[in-house]
């Protein structure tokens, strides 16, 4: 009987000793430049049946599973919220994805750098026209973050500015992380900056004495 008990003990010990499959916090690592690829079908699918993009895209680019399409898919997985903290935002594909999410009812907030809003092809005007809340700095230092938090759960961060130049030509990296404490640090940083860049604090508006 002692032997049976010990055997049972050994079996449970062996069972619990095996490493349990725990999801890795680093879900994906994307490197850029991304392969040239058409993302129209991906965006049309996300936009839903009401979209004007029902005809297939006539462009000659292949439809590949590339770094850009993977980044787009992560963003388009948002169901409740998208917090964007981006030095520059000029990529039309990423701009379209964010507008689709806003139309779907996802709460989008965007923090950006004032200087980059003047970049050629900046998406900020289109995003504001669509009704998305945008706040920017007014200091000499840059708001140089390049991160996004999807549904307060997934962190997308790296060296990549959201521009076509960076996506197509630069050596860049993007990490996709699901780590509660790490996401919390970035959300806290987002809220700090969101509060600091409140338009009512802008000093170029006349102040009442």
Q: Which residues are catalytic, by number?
A: 144, 146, 151
Q: What's the closest the beta carbon of residue 34 comes to a second copy, in angstroms?
A: 12
Beta bridge partners of 154: 150
Residue 35 or residue 165: which is nearer to a second copy going by CB?
165
Of the ranges 26-34, 45-53, 66-74, 126-134, which one interacts with a second copy (CB under 8 A)? 26-34
Rounded alpha-carbon distances, angstroms, from residue 82 to 8, 16, 58: 50, 38, 31
At 47, list the tokens: 């936009």
By CB under 8 A, residue 58 contacts a second copy = no
Decide if residue 64 touches a second copy (CB under 8 A). no
Confirm if 74 and 156 have CB atoms less than 8 A apart. yes
- Residues numbered 132 to 161 that lie near a second copy (CB under 8 A) are 137, 139-147, 157-161
Specify the stretch interacting with a second copy by CB under 8 A; choose among 62-70, 99-107, 127-135, 184-192. Answer: 184-192
Residue 65 sits in the site that holds a second copy (CB under 8 A)? no
Tokens matching residue 187: 């959300």
Of the candidates 194, 157, 193, 161, the one whose C-alpha atom is nearest the C-alpha of residue 177 is: 157
Of 34, 68, 87, 149, the one binding a second copy by CB under 8 A: 87
Residue closer to a second copy by CB (options 98, 174) is 174
| Angle (nearest 5°) at CA 170 between 165 and 174 | 100
d(CA 72, CA 97): 7
Rounded CA-CA distance 78/40 in Å is 19
Minimum CB separation from a second copy for residue 49, in Å? Answer: 38
Torsion of Cα atoms, 160 then 161 then 163 then 164, to 10°: -20
One of 53, 170, 199, 202 touching a second copy (CB under 8 A): 170
Residues that bind a second copy (CB under 8 A): 1-13, 15-17, 24-26, 29, 31, 33, 87, 137, 139-147, 157-161, 165-166, 168-173, 175, 177, 179, 181-182, 185-186, 189, 193
């Amino acid at each position: 009987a002692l032997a049976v008990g010990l055997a049972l003990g050994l079996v449970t010990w062996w069972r619990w000793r095996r490493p349990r499959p725990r999801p890795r916090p680093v879900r994906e690592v994307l490197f850029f430049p991304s392969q040239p690829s058409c993302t129209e079908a991906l965006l049309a699918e996300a936009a839903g049946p009401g979209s004007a993009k029902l005809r297939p895209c006539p462009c000659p680019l292949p439809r590949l599973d590339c770094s850009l399409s993977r980044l787009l898919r992560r963003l388009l997985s948002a169901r409740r919220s998208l917090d964007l903290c981006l030095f520059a935002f000029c990529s039309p594909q990423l701009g379209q994805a964010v507008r689709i999410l806003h139309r779907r009812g996802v709460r989008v907030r965007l923090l950006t750098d004032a200087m980059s809003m003047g970049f050629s092809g900046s998406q900020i005007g289109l995003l504001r026209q669509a009704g998305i809340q945008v706040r920017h700095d007014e200091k000499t230092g840059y708001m140089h973050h390049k991160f996004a938090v999807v549904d307060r759960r997934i962190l997308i961060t790296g060296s990549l500015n959201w521009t076509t130049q960076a996506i197509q030509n630069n050596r860049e990296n993007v990490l996709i992380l699901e780590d509660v404490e790490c996401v919390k640090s970035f959300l806290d940083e987002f809220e700090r900056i969101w509060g600091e860049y409140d338009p009512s604090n802008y000093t170029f508006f006349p102040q009442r004495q």
